[in-house]
Amino acid sequence: MSVVISEPAAELSVWPRSTRVIQEDLTVGGVPLGELAERFGTPLYVLDEGTVRETCRAYRTALPEAEIAYAAKAFLCRGLVGWLREEGFGLDVCSVGELELAAVAGMPAERIILHGNAKSPDELRSALRLGVGRIVLDNAAEPARLAALVGPDRRQRVMVRVVPGIEAGAHHSIRTGGEDQKFGVSIARGDAEDAVVRVLGQKRLELTGLHCHLGSQINSVRPYLAAVATLATFLAGLRDRYGVVLPELNLGGGHGIAYRSGEHALDIASFADDVRRQLARRCALYDLPVPHLIIEPGRAITGPSGVAVYRVLVVKRTAHRVFVAVDGGMADNPRPALYGARTTVRLVGRTGGGRSRRVTVVGRYCESGDVLAADVELPEDIHPGDLLAVPAAGAYQQSMASTYNLVGRPPVVAVRDGRARVLLRRESTADLLARDVYEPREQG
């Protein structure tokens, strides 16, 4: 008989909602993580379908009038596209690969938004061929480039990505609302107005509204409220100078999640209420109709739904530190190396020996910076063969994974109601070698 062990809610707050402590293991979606590791091997990503769907429904409840497009860059596969489609979401894509996968997986084209600061002609042609709902223009040259590709007797709906001059986000590399970065056109410098005028001059383009994205891992609604104020003022100026009233406003995503106990995620219900009030207030101030709101959460949907599972290979004690080396690392989770991200690590599959100690969990890759978690508490008797699990692993890990050292990327397994199924299979050595097509020239 399974024994469910009561555990403080705070200890499981960053794990998928279906997580339970049963005997010596954690279960997610009704399946023990130890069982999944034995069945599918490690490293392994586990994605809880129930948590994905519950989070989607929380967004829909908070913002029933808004359009919600999932940011595909966080993580994308055909199974996930199916869940999102069924929950009434659209997709925000930024490459021809994401675009084609979305189409193959059955996402209606009108629900797809194409982004990108440097879209290739092939990406633009693919978007037009598929009939995507909107293309977000990122610079002053794009309106003419895109219009030249639009066929006769057609019009493509577009938005202009503007820079409101608001810095937000957990790390300077993921702040995209300020002036000194590569995305969008500046309102303060006049570049945004110039881009809007260029779009209005193209008969084959229909300007539906403005887009902005402030950054990633934002845990407060304040930057969004500031952006709404700036964008409403800009919209009013466009109306007054050019007689155009834009019907849509896209506030992007960047909604933060908690990676460790005690951290705070962006509260979506409060975000929705505050943004809705601010938008209505600012539009009333300028006698503007309230535009249709669009948001693009990514990490907030899949991040809390995922768990990474690793197997310990080596425990090494040095003069000042204990290193616990696992069979994954920076190639399947580059966030700690890129952004200094901190996360939770937990022993699963057995109960530790009582006492704990501070260790540094490192990966198997040939880089001294391959550190997954520095100075975390793990049982003192940690040893090779043990399993470690890392929560909040469903976004920006598998999607950013590489094949460094010619190691294949881990599989992604979906769990729900006690069942597991593979979404992405493990990348094998044969897969990697198949790309190497060099044949030596015959001698003589």
State the CATH number of the domain containing residue 221.
3.20.20.10
Instruction: With beta carbons less than 8 A apart as the criterion, state whether 310 and 328 touch.
Output: yes
Which CATH number goes with the domain that contains 340? 2.40.37.10
Question: CA torsion, points 431, 433, 434, 440, in degrees to nearest 10?
Answer: 180
Please tell me the predicted confidence (pLDDT) of residue 179. Answer: 61
On whether both 261 and 358 belong to a single domain, the answer is: no
For the annotated catalytic residues, the residue numbers are 366
CA-wise closest residue to 295 among 260, 249, 337: 249
Residue 362 lies in a domain: yes
Tell me, yes or no, whether 109 and 33 share the same domain.
no
The pLDDT of residue 171: 43
Give the per-residue pLDDT at 311: 98
Domain total for the chain?
2
Are 332 and 365 part of one and the same domain? Answer: yes
| Residue finishing a domain among 286, 303, 320 | 303
The residue out of 303, 321, 354 marking a domain boundary is 303
- Is 13 within the bounds of a domain? yes
CA angle (7 as vertex; 51, 4 as ends), nearest 5: 80
Within a domain: 1: no
Same domain, 297 and 410: no
Flag whether 234 is in a domain: yes
In a domain, 264, yes or no: yes
Parallel, antiparallel or unpaired: strands 306-317 and 387-391: antiparallel
Same domain, 80 and 92: yes
Residue 248 lies in a domain: yes
List of the chain residues with pLDDT < 50: 1-6, 8-9, 169-171, 173-177
pLDDT score at 172:
52
Instruction: Tell me what pLDDT residue 1 has.
Output: 41
- Give this prediction's pTM: 0.93
Structural domain including 67 reads 49-303
Q: Is residue 176 part of a domain?
A: yes
Place of tokens 């790309």: 435
pLDDT given at position 168:
58
Assign 392 to helix, strand or coil: coil
How does pLDDT run across 272-313, given as a tens digit for each residue? Answer: 999 999 999 999 999 999 999 999 999 999 999 999 999 999
The pLDDT of residue 177 is 44
Length of the chain, in residues:
444
Q: Among the three residues 261, 283, 303, which one is the final residue of a domain in this structure?
A: 303
Q: Copy the structure tokens of residue 178.
A: 């300020």
| 313/352 same-domain check | yes
Please, what sign has the CA dihedral across residues 74, 80, 84, 89? positive
What count of other Cβ atoms lies within 10 Å of the Cβ of residue 419?
A: 11
In this prediction, residue 175 carries a pLDDT of 45
pLDDT of residue 178: 54
Name which of 55, 135, 89 is nearest 81 in CA terms.
89
111 and 192 share one domain: yes
Residues 292 and 319 in one domain: no
Helix (H, G, I), strand (E, B) or coil at 145: helix
Same domain, 154 and 211: yes
